[in-house]
């Protein structure tokens, strides 16, 4: 059974730093992996989707990588800003979306 883990559960860094969020999964037979952002009390916003045949995707200051063989994905955020503070979730598509528990990110001004 597919399991998705996100470590750390929470992360606090000063503004301006580059940072990496981690996502690992147990079964490499996935269709894709998505990273989402969730602000408190709000819905989920899709940030990046990496297809199973791809290695990485970029959008602005965000870069997501995928290594299926090791069951890992990372979300790299460059030059972090207070507005990046949110919970970041990853999910793998394995017929259904299987979710990680999320990393709560706080960017300190």
Partner 1 sequence: DVKVTQSSRYLVKRTGEKVFLECVQDMDHENMFWYRQDPGLGLRLIYFSYDVKMKEKGDIPEGYSVSREKKERFSLILESASTNQTSMYLCASTASTTSSYNEQFFGPGTRLTVL
Chain residues that interact with partner 1, rule: CB under 8 A: 31-32, 34, 36, 41-46, 49, 51-53, 89, 91, 93, 95-97, 99-102
What minimum distance in Å lies between the beta carbon of 90 and partner 1?
A: 11
Distance CA 94, CA 1 (A): 10
CB of 76 or CB of 99, closer to partner 1: 99
CB of 51 or CB of 70, closer to partner 1: 51
What minimum distance in Å lies between the beta carbon of 33 and partner 1?
A: 10
What minimum distance in Å lies between the beta carbon of 55 and partner 1?
A: 13
Give the pairing type, strands 10-14 and 103-108.
parallel
* Per-residue buried b or exposed e for 66-77, using 16+ beta carbons within 10 Å of the residue's own CB: bebeebebbbeb
Three-state DSSP at 7 gives strand
């Amino acid at each position: 059974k597919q399991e998705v883990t996100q470590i750390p559960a929470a992360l606090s860094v000063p503004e301006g730093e580059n940072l990496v969020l981690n996502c690992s999964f147990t079964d490499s037979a996935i269709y894709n992996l998505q990273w989402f952002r969730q602000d408190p009390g709000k819905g989920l916003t899709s940030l990046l989707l990496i297809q199973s045949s791809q290695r990485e995707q970029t959008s602005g200051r965000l870069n997501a990588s995928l290594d299926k063989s090791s069951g890992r994905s990372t979300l790299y955020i460059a030059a972090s800003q207070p507005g990046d503070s949110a919970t970041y979730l990853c999910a793998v598509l394995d017929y259904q979306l299987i979710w990680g528990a999320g990393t709560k990110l706080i960017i300190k001004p």
